[in-house]
Structures are given as structure tokens and as C-alpha cells.
Amino acid sequence: LVSPLPSTALTSSSELSSTHSPSFAKLNRRDGAGGWSPLDSNEQQWLQVDLGDRVEIVAVATQGRYGSSDWVTSYTLMFSDTGRNWKQYRQDDTIWVFTGNSNADSVVHHKFLHSMKARFLRFIPLKWNVSGRIGLRVEVFGCSYKSDIADFDGRSSLLYRFNQKLMSTFKDVVSLRFKSMQGDGVLFHGEGQRGDYITLELQKGKLSLHINLGDSNLHFSNSHTSVTLGSLLDDQHWHSVLIERFNKQVNFTVDKHTQHFRTKGDSDHLDIDYELSFGGIPVPGKPGTFQRKNFHGCIENLYYNGVNIIDLAKR
């Protein structure tokens, strides 16, 4: 992915000289001084690649600076969609340290255990040849990433209307990824005339799932359940959500953290009338008016019981 990029796509924290600039940091290139070297060799330096679009990255490779004693022996990676908010690459919930090079010209490849999706990638040198400086040439491997994305501006919502007036389900599966600019907002909501509802919303950067399996005999008093997961989810990074409900048993997953719980009440089914709304809870009969704060951000790969909601809306 790096070799065809223009030289301006590579930037850095600093450069030793114009011939050591990041524009010379492409793998196997020998022009300039044969690679990138920063002005000072310390752990505050970085080499950044702008891949032009959000892509799926599966591997990286590094070399030292051609024909020199300058190479990196270990490094970490950071990635971003915007070039402003950064996340560190992790494996097993640990910031992953990659083994670098032992000479200037051998290529060391690393295939990721988990691919990452990003536009910007930063190489952060941690250690380098004790007899030289930081020296780096890099390549990134992956492919274009196509996804269905819906943007919400805090004033809009997306409606999914059922083919029938009432949707009564014993099993529901909702999956999505979201990126939020604000700490509060409704991601999706559905409700029924008997008091049933399901709502997923951000509240002060945490994600709350509210479920009510209504029962007219109980007057809905004992069937409300709320569960909260995550924190700081309004960091403008992508977060994954999976909700799996079978009867009263629910698995609620945010990123890699899952909470298993049982809903209250005697009912096993969820009765939703007419539609599900995504991005807000519209007030019936009042277009553009919402019951709670609308979601402001992006949602991608949104599925409800196997239906691609965003793709359906585009049709």
C-alpha cells in the first residue's frame, strides 16, 4: 500500500536532514540517504503514513536505512481515521511491541493476528541499533475496505419499517460499529403498545442497553432491565456492538467485553410495533422532533436479525 503513494503521504516527527526525510522511507528504496532518520534518536519520534483512504491493514514490513548502521530493533504501531485521534495496536488487550531489524537491509515482516481498519498509520521506534541511529523504511500490506456507513448529524434518524404491524420475536441479534462525536445519543430504539421496548444509547460516554419485555398482567412494573458497558466511547474511534437475545437471556458485547444477563418479567418475547429507529427516537406526528438526544456520529455494518439496514435504506 505504501510504494504507490506520493512522497507527501509520508511525514514524521522530525528529520536529520533533507536527504533523511520521510519521503525516502519506502521499502527497498535507496534514494536520498536511503531511508528516514529523525533529528534526534529517542522514543518521541514517529513515522506516519497517510494511506489516502480507510483500508484494511493485515501486515507491515520494515528495513533499516540503506547501507548504514541505522535501524530500529523494536517499535509499536498507532492508527487513526482522522490523523488526530490515535489508537495503539493491541493483541490480547496488550500494547503490542513488534520485533524490528538486526541490520540495515534485511526485511522483517509481521502479519497481524487481528487486522486493523484505518487511513493513517504511525510507526513508533522504541529501540534501535546501539551503534547507530533510528533508521527506517516501511511497507504496509492490506486491501481496500468497503463498508456501509450512515452519518448522523444529531438531527436525523433512520427508520426500518416491518412488513407487518407487529413484530413479535423470541430471538433478536443486532450488530453494528459506531464512531461518536458526542457522549450522549440514541443509537436505536423500538417499542410496542403493550409496553415492550429495546433502546441502545450513549450516556456520558458509556453504552446502555434498556429492555422491557412487557406483560399486561404485571403492568410493566417488573420487566424493565438496564445494563451499561464501556467508557469514553465518544473518543471518535470505531467501537463494535453485538446484542444477542434469546427469550430472556441476553449477551451484550461492546468491543471485546461481554455481559450476560437475564431480563426481568414473565414474558419471553419482544413485541415491537411498526418500526425500529436508528439515530434517535422520533416523536410520532412531529417530523424532526425527538424524544431524547439524537446520536451524532457514524454507524457502519448495521444488521438487525440478518438484515443490512443501511444497505436497505440506500435502495
Domains, the chain, with CATH or none: 7-144 (2.60.120.260), 149-314 (2.60.120.200)
**DSSP label at residue 107:** -
- Kindly state the average pLDDT of the residues 4-20: 95
Q: Which residue has the higher pLDDT, 219 or 230?
A: 230
For residue 116, the model assigns a pLDDT of 87
For residue 307, the model assigns a pLDDT of 85
Q: Give the confidence band of 84 by pLDDT, cuts at 50, 70, 90.
A: confident
- Kindly state the average pLDDT of the residues 104-127: 93
For residue 74, the model assigns a pLDDT of 97
For residue 285, the model assigns a pLDDT of 54
pLDDT at 258 over 70: yes
Burial of 36 (0-12, 13-18, 19+ CB in 10 A): buried
For residue 274, the model assigns a pLDDT of 84
Q: Kindly state the cell numbers that stand for 134.
A: 533510528
28-50 pLDDT per residue, tens? 999 999 999 999 999 999 999 99
For residue 145, the model assigns a pLDDT of 79
pLDDT at 5 over 60: yes
* Cβ atoms of 120 and 48 closer than 8 Å: yes
For residue 18, the model assigns a pLDDT of 95
For residue 259, the model assigns a pLDDT of 95
Whole-number Cα distances in Å, 183 to 198, 199, 204, 231: 20, 16, 5, 10
For residue 220, the model assigns a pLDDT of 45
pLDDT at 218 over 50: no
Closest CA to 57 of 146, 132, 14, 119: 119
Largest CA distance in the chain: 81
Residue 262 CA to residue 133 CA, distance in Å, equals 58
Instruction: Give the H or E element holding residue 116.
Output: strand 108-128
pTM, two decimal places: 0.63
> What are the strands, taking DSSP E only, across 3-67?
10-12, 47-63
Residue 72 CA to residue 79 CA, distance in Å, equals 19
pLDDT at 219 over 70: no
- Kindly state the average pLDDT of the residues 183-205: 91
Q: Which residue pairs, CB below 8 angstroms and at least 24 apart, start in 29-33?
A: 29/66, 29/137, 30/66, 30/67, 33/65, 33/66, 33/68
Q: Kindly state the cell numbers that stand for 124.
A: 513508533
**Tally of helices (H runs) and strands (E runs) in the chain:** 1, 24
For residue 222, the model assigns a pLDDT of 59
Whole-number Cα distances in Å, 271 to 39, 196, 198, 228: 64, 6, 10, 23
Category of 243 on φ-ψ map: left (φ > 0), alpha (ψ -120 to 50) or beta: beta
**Average pLDDT score over the chain:** 89
pLDDT at 286 over 80: no
Residue 104 CA to residue 121 CA, distance in Å, equals 22
- Contacts of 41 by beta carbon, 8 Å cutoff, 6+ apart: 125, 128, 133, 134
- Kindly state the average pLDDT of the residues 226-244: 92
Give percent of the chain above pLDDT 90: 61
Q: Give the confidence band of 253 by pLDDT, cuts at 50, 70, 90.
A: very high
